């Protein structure tokens, strides 16, 4: 039985071949595209469960491809990048990616990220807060709708679950490890730098002044606290 259908978007044939053999061996069905333009067409035709998207491609770049995919779908997108600065990772998440993996990477790491992206955090009625409202920020958890300063904000699924968990523990510091494992799963726990990138993108979307946050506060050496 297939573990899910993955669209692999990369202009390098050897990368696509490795992905096809390795991920196929793990039970995933693989669909391939060599460019951003081809990826959009293959996405429409094949309806994958997840997209692995290389950022460095000729023609339509990975960031623009990510934006176009995200504009019409909530399908998880993991970007593959050789860029290792926080600003560039934030750009990818701002474009709508759910996660990023920096090249070179190990296949165990990639498989863990794929499992985390495909995992949907439980959101049963009555589990945690149903709404949050302040003079600037409004969150309807049942409808998965967020407004900041009167404008609709689109969060990726992982950003949304990150916000949900922080609000559910409002006023209390949440340790890095607890937050990582609650949102991404047991394969995570020590990646504080990784979590910081996601917190940065979340603040850019929901804070009046992201550089001086009002809601998502840093608890030095511990984790984060929602102060709304």
pLDDT (tens digit per residue) in 35-65: 999 999 999 999 999 999 999 888 888 999 9
- Of 3.40.50.2300, 3.20.20.70, 3.40.50.1970, 3.40.50.10490, the CATH number of 4-118 is 3.40.50.2300
Instruction: Check: CB of residue 121 under 8 Å from CB of residue 144.
Output: no
Of the ranges 14-23, 117-126, 170-179, which one carries the lowest mean pLDDT score?
A: 117-126
* φ/ψ bin of 207: left (φ > 0), alpha (ψ from -120 to 50), beta (otherwise): beta
pLDDT reading at 5 higher than 90: yes
pLDDT reading at 171 higher than 90: yes
pLDDT at 126: 43
Average the pLDDT over 215-224 and give the result: 96
User: Thinking of the domain 131-226, which architecture would CATH place it in?
Assistant: Orthogonal Bundle (1.10)
* Threshold 0.75, pTM exceeds: yes
Q: What angle do CA 146, 155, 70 make, to 5 degrees?
A: 130
At 134-167, the pLDDT tens digits run: 999 999 988 889 999 999 999 988 899 999 999 9
4-118 and 131-226 share one fold: no
Of the pLDDT bands very low, low, confident and very high (cuts 50, 70, 90), residue 186 is confident
Of the pLDDT bands very low, low, confident and very high (cuts 50, 70, 90), residue 88 is confident
pLDDT at 39: 96
Distance CA 168, CA 64 (A): 34
Average the pLDDT over 195-220 and give the result: 96
pLDDT at 122: 44
Domain range summary for the chain, segments of one domain joined by +: 4-118, 131-226
Highest mean pLDDT among 70-79, 80-89, 117-126: 70-79
Which alpha helices (DSSP H) does the chain contain, by range?
13-25, 36-46, 62-72, 86-94, 107-118, 157-168, 176-183, 192-206
């Amino acid at each position: 039985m297939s573990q899910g259908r993955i669209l692999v978007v990369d202009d390098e044939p050897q990368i696509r071949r490795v992905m096809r053999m390795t991920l196929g061996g793990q039970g995933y069905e693989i669909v391939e595209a060599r460019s951003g333009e081809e990826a959009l067409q293959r996405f429409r035709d094949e309806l994958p469960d997840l997209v692995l998207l290389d950022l460095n491609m000729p023609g339509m770049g990975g960031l623009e491809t990510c934006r176009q995919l995200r504009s019409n779908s909530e399908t998880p997108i993991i970007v593959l990048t050789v860029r290792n600065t926080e600003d560039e990772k934030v750009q990818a998440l701002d474009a709508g990616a759910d996660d990023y993996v920096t090249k070179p990477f190990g296949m165990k790491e990639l498989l863990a990220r794929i499992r985390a992206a495909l995992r949907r955090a439980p959101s049963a009625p009555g589990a945690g807060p149903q709404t949050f409202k302040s003079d600037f920020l409004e969150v309807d958890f049942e409808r998965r709708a967020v407004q900041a300063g009167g404008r609709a904000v689109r969060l990726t699924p992982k950003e949304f679950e990150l916000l949900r968990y922080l609000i559910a523990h409002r006023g209390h510091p949440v340790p890095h490890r607890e937050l990582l494992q609650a949102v991404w799963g047991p394969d995570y726990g020590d990646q504080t730098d990784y979590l910081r990138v996601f917190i940065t993108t979340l603040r850019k979307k929901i804070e009046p002044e992201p550089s001086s946050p009002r809601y998502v506060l840093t608890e030095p050496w511990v984790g984060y606290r929602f102060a709304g």
